[in-house]
Amino acid sequence: MPLTTGSDWYNRDSVMNDLLLLCMMLDGPKYGYQLKREAGWILGQEALHNNLVYPLLRRFFEAKWVSKKMVPGDRGQTRQQYALTPQGRRHLFERLNAFAQTDASSEEAFHLRVGVFPALRPDVRGAVLSLREGYLERRDQKLGVLEAGMDLGKFGGEIVRHMRKRIEIERDWIRHLRRIERSIEG
């Protein structure tokens, strides 16, 4: 499903929206507009919709996962700046460390975890890579059965070959990530 609007993304995976916005504050405070713009860029959009970002920030604030303060803007306006609290950081890492088989099937969930690998424990990083590898293996096997057992036609066959090639590219990338991991540990 193409990611065309904030509401599409919200309906697709609201958990990922939470994690993405919280992760974006790991390095320090951010303005609401900055969060919606940068999260949109990460997701291949211009910006996430206000009706997605600000209710999430309000919920994070009410849960004490973020603090907010009013800061003077460049043009005399007042802007709200959000920062991850210690409680929010704990909550975020509990969720990031809980990478399950269902998460492994989500490219977005996998990429988000890889994006914060330096902050995750080595055992969690290894589990993330192994679970994603397992998912890719199962997916490739299913596509192989489909390719062998069905007349997909010229373009259908092209699609399946393309999908299998993308799986192999991602497997290569995971092997590369494991090499990086070993070089950091060793």
Q: What is the mean pLDDT of the chain?
A: 87
Reference 81, options 40, 131, 120, 29; nearest CA is 29
Closest C-alpha to 91, from 13, 14, 21: 21
Q: 142-181: string of b/e by CB count within 10 Å (b at 16+)?
A: ebeeeeeeeeeeeeeeeebeeebeebeebeeebeebeeee
In a domain, 94, yes or no: no
- Which residue among 29, 53, 84 closes a domain? 84
> Structural domain of residue 114, as residue ranges?
99-186
Residue predicted with more confidence, 86 or 16? 86
| Amino acid sitting at position 93 | F
Distance from C-alpha of 141 to C-alpha of 48, rounded to nearest angstrom: 36
Cα separation, 39 vs 17, whole angstroms: 9
Q: Tell me, yes or no, whether 67 lies in a domain.
A: yes
> Residue 184, class by beta-carbon neighbours within 10 Å (0-12 exposed, 13-18 middle, 19+ buried)?
exposed
Give 5's pLDDT tier (boundaries 50, 70, 90): very low
For the entire predicted model, the pTM comes to: 0.80
Model confidence over 55-87: pLDDT tens digits?
999 999 999 999 999 888 788 788 899 999 999
Domain boundary at 84, 114, 138, which? Answer: 84
Q: Is 92 domain-assigned?
A: no
Q: How many domains is the chain built from?
A: 2
pLDDT tens digits, one per residue of 164-184: 999 999 999 999 999 998 888
